[in-house]
Chains A and B, each alone.
Chain A
Amino acid sequence: MSTRTRTRTEAAARRAARPAKTNRIGLEKTAYRGRPSTLCKGCGHDSISQRIVNAAWEMGLDQTQVVKLSGIGCSSKTPAYYLGWSHGFNSLHGRMPSVATGAIIANASLEVIGVSGDGDTASIGIGQFKHAVRRNLPLIYIVENNGVYGLTKGQFSATADEGQFLKYQGVNDLPPLDICMEALTANATFVARSFAGDPKQLEALLKAAFNHRGIAVLDIVSPCVTFNNHDTSTKSYGFGRANEIKLHDLNFVPEFEEIEIEDYEDELEVELHDGGSIILKKIDPDHDPTDRTAAYNVIQQSLDEQKLITGLLYINEGEPTLTELLNLTDTPLTHLPDEKLRPSREALEGVMATLA
């Protein structure tokens, strides 16, 4: 499916009004919850979990067809706290992408969410992260980025700011890796940055990510209130609130909703693979998220100016996904009967004849 963008001057969109209590498959929001969280009170990760619950409920996702995978860390514990009807796998530190690759190949009809931390992705898992991106895995890849190792109690991660001070480790004198930049250089087809404390934007991005055909990388700044929430850190609530610059006001329109007119101006509508579309209301009129160079520039600008520039940085709906490249049967491999999973007697005998 190719990328289609359209600039509208008058057109506007709005979600159709929905019944307050149940979603389009008749479920209440509580049905999308998981086990009670065991994270610290106020942890940004819990806000993100809440956004996932909301987005999934509003979209009317069938949880039995969703899989939640994670690595190791406070962030990677969170899949236990939402979508209780979905299978989850809290795997190994930094190795979620490979587990996701196997799961997706095995059953390409599943909707797969991968959750990771900044240590999990940018430190131990940087290799698997970049290769998953490079393969354009059909995966929503969420990094809950707090610039610190939460679960092991406050060491620097590879996204920690240069010059940042932590109680136990002193001053960090290495420059940070930028998740969005790393994703972009690895040819990501969907790169977005958001903030755990920005529910509206985050939910719109999550919904767009669900509708994207390839890998959707969401770098979400998610303050660790216990080990890294000083205002000097770019991963703190204070910094996020004071310095967040939104690229666009976002709205997501699922395929099953009608687009209604509202008084938006200077909009860009990006049609997504599954028929939905994300509508960007331009605050910065120069950023076109289908322009890779522009995306690089925005990220560089955010690094230079130490500002949290959030929104959809880049999207490309035109690249084939890994499962498409593999040309697998439409029936998921896990659903194939035995006789489709082995050669015929004649076919094997044919090979054996060449060995005789």
Chain B
Amino acid sequence: MSVAVREAPIVKPDAPAAVNDFAINVATANGSGSQTSNGVLLRALFKMGIPINGKNLFPSNIQGLPTWYIIRLSKDGFLARREMTDIQICMNGRTVAEDMERAAPGGIVIYDDSLPVANRRKDVTYYGMPVKDLVKEAKLPHALRDYVANMVYVGVLAELLGIEPEEIEAALLHHFEGKEKAAGLNMEMVERAIGWASAHVGQHHGYRVERITGFNEGKILVDGNTAAALGALAGGLSLASWYPITPSSSMAESVEKYASTLRTDPDTGKATVAVIQAEDELAAIGMVVGAGWTGARAMTCTSGPGISLMSEFAGLAYFAEVPAVIWDIQRMGPSTGLPTRTSQGDILAAYYLGHGDTRHVVLFPANPAECFDFGRIAFDLAEELQTLVFVLSDLDLGMNAHISEPFAYSDAPFKRGKVLSAEDLEERQGSWGRYMDVDGDGIAYRTLPGTRHNMAAYFTRGTGHNEYGYYSERPEDWEQNLERLKRKFETARQLVPRPVLDEVEGAQVGIISLGSNHNGVEEARARLEATGLATNYLRLRALPIDESVRDFIERNRIVFVIEANSDGQLHNILTTEEPAQALKLVSMAKCDGLPLSARYIVGEVEKAVEEALI
């Protein structure tokens, strides 16, 4: 057994420790089983009451390429990605040199001692773990060795930082869904590592974790895709059709996973929801449109390349006025871009998707609880407005685990919109027009196939039609229809989820942002306020915007539009829709594949303010 290398610890034994406030970066190879170890670490810390977040930076690869998992602990409850690494775990020989460079001065490097370690820095503490020896001693079945090897760093961290072994064991049992044998094998490895670490490393004085209360009680730990799937299942989903694509696949797989538990009819034992893996994204959205037209709640989930393929159907759904929902779990474009990195680069594409004149309702959930709610709300809006509704999540929100409020059960009646039954038709003596604006809100009445009345039928087409749905090439018919669709879009402004506002008395600098940027924005605002720069914040939850956005811009001298893409897409939309105030809007767009950090936002705001904008 080798001995831990300890070199000149920077932190003096009596220096105050960073308790529950640092970041760990775990460098492993993809496919090596590190997801289990990292998930277990995250859950154990969550259960100790510590505000945490975990970000998985993984390659587009199944096995072998480097992967990093960043766990941030924040005693103050900040849940954004942190750029700085305090503790670096090195399990991957290919990247060990650059990984070791990442540790901040005063930090710790913990590495598999069989890896080549070239240059040792003077300003960090190194601990070499005898991973091979420990695994060998554990006498594990050969096939499992590589997977369980990652439990070594879990044990070493537990000892070093003070993570409670009981919570690690509980997290293992949770991960293996109660299978004690699998959990036991892994726990044995963890315990061996704890034993080794207590003899050779001891507890570190610089970084500690401690059980706390006040944050995580009553909360759940869940990724946005699981939340969205549960929300759709709770929101009346009847058909989910999809074509596999990262980072959206896990949403469809979650629908499949929970469908039988949540949506088996107790009276007959039969399914009340169908999941279809389509042959491509064109078929996936085609099925959604077919089901929506027939009167069922249908959804597909995809990512950028998928929505490109769905574009023609998006236009059809808009113009033929068919309810449909597309969840776009955004990843980096253009083209296939960086398939496993996050981005908010589809805002413009989604808003305008289609040919001719199209604009769609787009929702922006910021956290898992909102993903859950929007699962239902997207269907309500699609059916009320008889149109396509996009929900734009992203890889960070969708695939990483987040601390979340528990989901609120809703038994409110589903909003199914203006649908005429056979009885309604009887009352109107069969007189109705599919595209007639009876109520002045731009939303016409529809009937569903199968309605037992011989005046129920109408013919649906993407081509020009008059108020009765008959084919028409008359310019007046065409124009009238487009005018009505515009009125409908005005109605949509009033129906979509309102922005969330947080304003500070006297503040004159505004921030508009959306989706998963929220955590970074909140932390940045706290840090800016600490330096004397209070900000107002509008978190946009949907397009089209309503008047509250205009009012917000009016109340501020300058408004930063913060988003995770390169072109400033939301900024683009806001300047188009609020031209009179366009000069107040400053784009702050960053696109590097990583979730936005508070550090970036603070830096940019300070720079802009310094440049005498204020």
Contacts and interface: CB of A to CB of B under 8 A. Distances in A.
Interface of A: 35, 38, 62-65, 67, 69, 79-80, 84-92, 95, 97-107, 109-110, 127-128, 131, 326-330, 332-334, 336, 338-343, 345, 347-352, 354-356
A339 B267 CA distance: 12
Interface in B420-468: 447-454, 456-463
| Chain A CB within 10 A, most for which of B236, B263, B288, B449 | B449
A164 to B, nearest CB: 30
* Interface magnitude class on chain B: 35 or more
Contacts of A339: 411
B278 interface: yes
A97 B285 CA distance: 12
Contact of B449 (A87, A327, A330, A343): A87
27 contacts: A63-B457, A80-B471, A86-B449, A86-B457, A88-B460, A89-B293, A90-B461, A91-B316, A98-B283, A101-B276, A102-B286, A102-B287, A102-B291, A107-B448, A110-B450, A127-B279, A326-B274, A327-B270, A330-B270, A333-B239, A333-B273, A334-B294, A334-B450, A342-B233, A342-B235, A343-B261, A350-B261
Given A106-B238, A328-B272, A343-B263, A95 B457 contact: no
A166 B409 CA distance: 64
A42 to B, nearest CB: 21
Contact of A106 (B236, B296, B313, B413): B296
Contacts of B292: 102
A107 B238 CA distance: 10
Given A80-B459, A90-B463, A131-B283, A103 B291 contact: yes
Contacts of B222: 355
A107 B294 contact: yes
B456 A64 contact: yes
A186 B608 CA distance: 62
B239 A102 contact: yes
A352 B460 contact: no
A92 B174 CA distance: 47
Interface of B: 174, 219-222, 226, 230, 233-239, 241, 258, 261-263, 265, 268, 270-274, 276, 278-280, 282-298, 312-313, 316, 320, 406-407, 409, 411, 413-414, 447-454, 456-463, 470-471
B272 A329 contact: yes
B296 A333 contact: yes
Nearest to A353: B220
Nearest to A332: B450
Which 8 pairs show the lowest CB-CB distances between chains A and B?
A: A98-B286, A102-B290, A106-B296, A102-B291, A99-B290, A106-B294, A102-B287, A343-B262
A64 B452 CA distance: 6
A79 B471 CA distance: 13
Contacts of B458: 87-88
Contacts of B234: 342-343, 348
Contacts of A79: 459
B220 A127 contact: no
A347 B261 contact: yes
Contacts of A352: 220, 406-407
B287 A65 contact: no
B241 to A, nearest CB: 7
B182 to A, nearest CB: 17
Contacts of A348: 230, 234, 262, 407, 409
Nearest to B379: A341
B410 to A, nearest CB: 8
Contacts of B407: 348, 352
B268 A84 contact: no
A91 B312 CA distance: 10
Contacts of A69: 290
Nearest to A131: B279
Given A35-B459, A87-B459, 6 more contacts: A62-B452, A80-B459, A87-B449, A95-B282, A98-B283, A326-B271
B262 A351 contact: yes
Contacts of A100: 290
A63 B262 contact: no
Nearest to A77: B471
A351 B459 CA distance: 43
A328 B274 contact: yes
Contacts of B270: 327-330
B464 to A, nearest CB: 12
Nearest to B260: A327
B171 to A, nearest CB: 12
Contacts of B459: 35, 79-80, 87-90
A130 to B, nearest CB: 8
| Chain B CB within 10 A, most for which of A101, A334, A347 | A101
Nearest to B447: A87
| Chain B CB within 10 A, most for which of A69, A79, A91, A350 | A91
A98 B278 contact: yes
Contacts of A333: 238-239, 272-274, 296
B18 to A, nearest CB: 28
A329 B406 contact: no
Given A90-B461, A99-B290, A99-B293, A105 B276 contact: yes
A104 B276 CA distance: 12
B270 to A, nearest CB: 4
A98 B449 contact: no
A355 B312 CA distance: 38
Contact of B258 (A80, A97, A351): A351
A342 B408 CA distance: 13
B238 A103 contact: no
Contact of B414 (A65, A85, A128, A341): A341
Given A99-B293, A110-B449, A347-B261, A105 B272 contact: no
B447 to A, nearest CB: 8
A37 B241 CA distance: 35
A92 B462 contact: yes
Contacts of B453: 64
A77 B461 CA distance: 10
Contacts of B221: 355-356
Nearest to A339: B411
B286 A105 contact: no
Contacts of A354: 174
Contacts of B451: 64
B293 A103 contact: yes
A106 B452 contact: no
A67 B471 CA distance: 18
A80 B237 CA distance: 31
A98 B287 contact: yes
Contacts of B288: 102
Contacts of A349: 409
A342 B450 CA distance: 23
| Chain B CB within 10 A, most for which of A35, A62, A127, A327 | A327
